[in-house]
C-alpha cells in the first residue's frame, strides 16, 4: 500500500502556485498585535491593504528605534517617489505615524457620545 507521500498529487500546479511566503501577502499575527498597541487613528490602513509585507517589516522593527526609524524613512521615501500604491494617502499615514513616534503629535480621544461612540479623533501638535 502506497503512503500519502508516494501518491502523485492530482493538483500539483494549483498547490505550487499557492505556496508563497505569507509575510509577503497578508498581515501576520504579530503585525495585528502591533496594530492593537498603537492608536487606531494612526494605523497605516492603506499601506496594509496594498503592501502588507512593508507593514510586517515595520511591525517587526518597531521595538528597535534605529531599525524602526530606518524602515519608516525608507517607506516615506518610497511613497514620495510614487513607487507605492495610493502614494499620497500612504505618505500621509506614514508621516502621521512618524510624527507620533517622535512625539511631535498627540492623539486625543474625545469623550463618548450618547451612543457610546467617539465623534472625531483629533491629532494635535505636542
Domain range list for the chain = 39-109+118-126
What's the average model confidence in pLDDT over 34-42? 89
pLDDT value for 68: 94
34 versus 124: the higher-pLDDT residue is 34
Give me the residues paired with residue 125 across strands. 105
49 versus 9: the higher-pLDDT residue is 49
pLDDT value for 103: 84
**Structure-block grid coordinates of residue 63:** 521595538
- pLDDT-derived band at 39 (thresholds 50, 70, 90) equals confident
- pLDDT-derived band at 97 (thresholds 50, 70, 90) equals very high
CA distance 92 to 79: 9
pLDDT value for 110: 62
What's the average model confidence in pLDDT over 6-31? 62
Q: Is the pLDDT of residue 13 over 50?
A: no
Where are the alpha helices (H) located in 1-126, listed in sequence order? 12-18, 22-25, 29-37, 45-50, 52-61, 65-81, 87-101
Nearest to 73 by CA among 100, 44, 94, 48: 94
pLDDT value for 5: 52
**Structure-block grid coordinates of residue 8:** 502523485
pLDDT value for 58: 94
Give me the phi and psi of 7, to 5 degrees please. -75, 140
| Three-class DSSP category at 40 | helix
pLDDT value for 105: 67
CA distance 100 to 95: 9
- Indicate the DSSP class of residue 1: -
Amino acid at each position: 500500500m502506497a503512503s500519502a507521500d508516494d501518491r502523485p498529487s492530482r493538483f500539483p500546479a494549483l498547490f505550487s502556485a499557492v505556496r508563497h511566503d505569507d509575510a509577503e501577502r497578508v498581515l501576520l499575527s504579530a503585525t495585528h498585535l502591533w496594530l492593537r498597541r498603537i492608536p487606531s487613528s494612526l494605523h497605516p490602513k492603506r499601506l496594509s491593504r496594498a503592501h502588507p509585507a512593508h507593514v510586517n517589516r515595520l511591525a517587526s522593527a518597531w521595538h528597535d528605534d534605529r531599525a524602526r526609524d530606518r524602515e519608516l524613512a525608507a517607506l516615506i521615501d518610497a511613497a514620495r517617489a510614487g513607487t507605492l500604491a495610493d502614494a499620497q494617502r500612504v505618505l500621509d499615514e506614514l508621516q502621521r505615524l512618524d510624527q507620533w513616534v517622535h512625539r511631535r503629535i498627540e492623539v486625543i480621544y474625545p469623550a463618548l457620545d450618547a451612543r457610546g461612540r467617539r465623534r472625531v479623533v483629533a491629532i494635535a501638535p505636542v
